[in-house]
Amino acid sequence: MKYVEEYRDTELGRNLIKRIASVSKRPARFMEFCGGHTVSIMKHGIRQLLPSNIEMLSGPGCPVCVTPVGDIDKAVFLAGKPGAIISTFGDMIRVPGSVSTLQKAKGEGADVRIVYSTQDALEIARQNPAKSVIFVGVGFETTAPTVAASVRQAFKEGLTNYYVLSLHKLTPPIIRALLTAQELDLDGIICPGHVSAVTGARPYEFIGNEYNISAVISGFEPLDILLAVEMLIRQVEEGRHMLENAYPRVVRYEGNRQALDIMNEVFEVSPSNWRGIGVVDQSGLRLRDKYGALDAEKAFDIERVDVRENPGCICGEILRGVKSPSDCRLFKNVCNPGNPVGPCMVSAEGSCSAHYLYGGENER
């Protein structure tokens, strides 16, 4: 198949659902890691189409959602620095910190700008040489190479007013952390598609080799996801635990070598704090010493504030898959897209947003 509409073909979907029903005999619990998968699953009603013995859980694959309050506080603090221009992607400006958001800071006079790429942020730095332009970098391996490219370009041009606050996170270490915690008793994982286009399939082989859990890399269209579920079910029924690639049109085993090289040149692996999970070793990226002058953490004396989570928000537990948005007493009543209490409602890839928009209360 070559066209998007083919991956949404109703008749092909019916056939896949029939095949799944005919193969699936025993109970199985699967987690889709990626927020993009969560949205697609909810939007197309895939949970309701699967046999009742198959349970689908959502994982921590929403980069905005997993950014902890303390890191949001850093960005808000930097927005208040004289002469600072904060640039970042759209969802980030509405995520609540301890006392404020970037959106509120903007309303109070801070120069906060939404950009669509790091090249936009670089251009702002070129046009405002007397200002400190700070790009708030969030995302997984998908966005890290583009941020790395901007750092390398700024270094090459001698732009001394461009900085990156690196809040990037890596997916294999957090999957390992979730499996080691053994909170969920999973039978299989749908591995991220866009991330895997950069990393390749290789980094996820440990899931089957070390944890005896099935894993399939999937695309984002409904037929992609149904195929991935069928492949997981077949592994479970046959007692196999391995990594399979259901997204070969995009994901190669070795990944995108050019993207990985530039990411590794600019960044080094570091510990990182995840909302609801805590600090996970080797799960973050910080700028290497060569590019230390562009590191906002080093360039600015960031004030440490008393980090305060909203006591009613269970976003952290939702990200770990131990609770659903419908378990939260704030969901819909207080927390909604117009008044998001936590990042899982802010982000377009957040579980709470997907449940709110597409009727997650109908899940089994």
Q: Has domain 4-62+171-245 been given CATH number 3.40.50.720?
A: no
Q: Hey, where are the domains in the chain?
A: 4-62+171-245, 65-170+255-299, 315-351
Per-residue confidence (pLDDT) for residue 363, from 0 to 100: 53
Global confidence as pTM: 0.93
- Report residue 88: phi and psi, to 5°: -165, 175
Across the range 153-176, mean pLDDT stands at 97
Per DSSP (E only), the strands in the chain are 28-34, 54-61, 84-88, 111-114, 132-137, 162-166, 188-191, 214-217, 243-245, 267-274, 278-287
- Report residue 10: phi and psi, to 5°: -60, -45
Let me know if the fold of 4-62+171-245 is the same as that of 65-170+255-299: yes
Asked if residues 283 and 168 have their Cβ atoms less than 8 Å apart, the reply is no
Q: Is the pLDDT of residue 232 over 70?
A: yes
Across all residues in the chain, what is the average pLDDT?
94
pLDDT tens column, 95-134: 999 989 999 999 999 999 999 999 999 999 999 999 999 9
Per-residue confidence (pLDDT) for residue 309, from 0 to 100: 80
CATH architecture of 65-170+255-299: 3-Layer(aba) Sandwich (3.40)
Q: What does the radius of gyration of the chain's CA atoms come to, in whole angstroms? A: 21
Q: Which helix (H) or strand (E) holds 257?
A: helix 257-266
Q: Pick the closest to residue 178 from 350, 331, 29, 52 (CA basis).
A: 29
- Higher pLDDT residue, 311 or 364? 311
Per-residue confidence (pLDDT) for residue 239, from 0 to 100: 96
pLDDT tens column, 316-343: 999 999 999 999 999 998 999 999 999 9
Where residue 362 falls among pLDDT bands split at 50, 70, 90? very low
Where residue 364 falls among pLDDT bands split at 50, 70, 90? very low
Q: Is the pLDDT of residue 4 over 90?
A: no
Q: Is the pLDDT of residue 361 over 80?
A: no
pLDDT tens column, 64-75: 999 999 999 999
Query: ∠ CA(348), CA(354), CA(355), 5° rounding?
Result: 155
Q: How far is CA 117 from CA 26, 136, 140, 200, 273, in A?
A: 46, 11, 15, 23, 24
pLDDT tens column, 293-321: 999 999 998 877 677 788 899 999 999 99
Tokens of 356: 């709110």
Strand order from edge to edge, sheet including 111-114: 111-114, 84-88, 132-137, 162-166
Question: CA–CA separation, 9 vs 7, rounded Å?
Answer: 6
